[in-house]
Chains A and B, each alone.
Chain A
Amino acid sequence: TQLLEQSPQFLSIQEGENLTVYCNSSSVFSSLQWYRQEPGEGPVLLVTVVTGGEVKKLKRLTFQFGDARKDSSLHITAAQPGDTGLYLCAGALYNNNDMRFGAGTRLTVKP
């Protein structure tokens, strides 16, 4: 099982719809990052959240870090075809030197 569980695994929606992607764990993280990966490319960082309860907005994307620092969500408003891609959450564990990734949510936005 993954340390970070992402849901849903796949999401196909129409342009203009809203969506939320979740990243959950039983572990506590010192920080959590969200990346987007497009076919044939490496993941690109979208945001880093470090404080429990923190909310960050990036245009139509809203990221939230859970109060207990165990979970996070990504909400996209009025999705566009350009939002299509694999969304990955990644967490830095306390007292650990590595970064753990979720399996990802593959989003398809149809025009």
Chain B
Amino acid sequence: KAGVTQTPRYLIKTRGQQVTLSCSPISGHRSVSWYQQTPGQGLQFLFEYFSETQRNKGNFPGRFSGRQFSNSRSEMNVSTLELGDSALYLCASSFQVLNTGELFFGEGSRLTVL
């Protein structure tokens, strides 16, 4: 079956702009979680959505937001971009809620903020 698909794969933005990233989970998976990966901090949990509801949110400012649609596809948005937001953004899908099952990751969206 098709894996987790993230778009776009690469993007370059400037400070102050906003960005929207998309994640299509594996068919049948209802949980989508988002992570920020940087060389210094590793993988940091952003938030998880399950059946269109946000179950938990990591320690990130309100500029980071997300949503999930009825078909389980998810988007995350970052407003007023800062240089420090440059990172690889990964989403993962799971059949069960986040902390009970295997996570299947997409290849990520690499964001560069200039």
Contact = CB atoms under 8 A, between A and B. Distances in A.
A103 B43 CA distance: 7
B42 A2 contact: yes
B99 A97 contact: yes
What does DSSP make chain A's interface, helix, strand, loop or mixed? strand
B42 A97 contact: no
Nearest to B4: A42
A99 B80 CA distance: 27
A99 B45 contact: yes
Interface residues of A, number: 25
A92 interface: yes
Given A42-B90, A93-B99, A99-B98, A88 B43 contact: yes
Contact-size category for B: 20 to 34
Contacts of A90: 43, 103
- Most central of B42, B107, B108 by chain A CB within 10 Å: B42
B105 interface: yes
A45 B103 contact: yes
Nearest to B97: A97
A92 B99 contact: yes
A97 B98 contact: yes
A65 to B, nearest CB: 16
Contacts of B99: 30-31, 92-93, 96-99
Given A44-B105, A100-B45, 4 more contacts: A33-B103, A45-B104, A98-B33, A104-B43
